[in-house]
Amino acid sequence: MMWSFSFRDRVFDMAGEDFKVVKQLTEEDDEELGQRKVQAIAKRLDQKYLLKIRYQLDPKDCDLDDPKEILEFSEQDFCHEAELTQLLSTHGYGPRYHNHETQNQPEWMPFPGGYLEFIVMDFPPGENVDEIQFDLTDRQRKSIRTKLANLLELMRKNDYCMSEQHPSYLHYDAQADNLYLVDLSGFGYIDSAKSYPIDEESPFVTAFNLWWKEYLKSTRGQESTGIPLSHQPIKKENQPPGKT
């Protein structure tokens, strides 16, 4: 896998603890915030951690209307992501939160002196849902749908949502029947006072595109009743985010 910038084998000191990056998972440029977001696996004392990294790109290379305002917003956005990570962790819907920290980029990074932000979590049990979705049983998919609706409703009640959806954002522990939202790259904001509660039929849930079997059964049923194909719902195809 080729990255614009690789963190592999780099060691970071956070609160007196050394974390060594052993594998980079994703990389995504956020042009609106003039930053790059990375998810990686790190190790400390042979224990595995999930590391979320944000780092500033050189504003001269970014088309930013107001760099100072963007910088302030990016700081707030990072704080909200850390808060959401802790919320999901507390309720068992995300990896266990470890800590978060802001540093300055060292000389070997793309924009020395720019901000470098970390959120550290325990690596969650289970497997990435994008990789196992075709092996899931009907019962497991139903369980995932219920748990996903519950965690997204928890987010909504706290004024957060997932404005982007993809199965790769999720980990599922089949043995314990637990679902974890492990990647918040697609998180956004919502007004809990003006939004509708999220249930299993909500577009916020179905947009994760995990229930294709149920969709096929539904379209076959519509065909059998004579409903024109042009009037049937179109399945949205989404692509894995942040992978090159």
**Interval 161-179: pLDDT, tens:** 999 999 999 999 999 999 9
pLDDT for the residue 215: 60
Q: Which residue has tokens 């006072």? A: 193
CA 100 centroid distance within chain:
16
- The pairing of strands 97-104 and 47-56 is unpaired
From CA 63, how far away is CA 31, in angstroms rounded?
8
pLDDT for the residue 221: 52
pLDDT for the residue 233: 37
From CA 65, how far away is CA 32, in angstroms rounded?
9
Q: Which domains does the chain have, with CATH numbers?
A: 11-122 (3.30.200.20), 127-231 (1.10.510)
pTM attached to this predicted model: 0.86
> Which residue blocks in 1-137 are alpha helix, DSSP H?
67-90, 129-132
pLDDT for 62-105, tens place per residue?
Answer: 989 899 999 999 999 999 999 999 999 999 999 999 999 999 99
In this prediction, the residues of the chain whose per-residue pLDDT falls under 70 are 212-244
pLDDT for the residue 243: 52
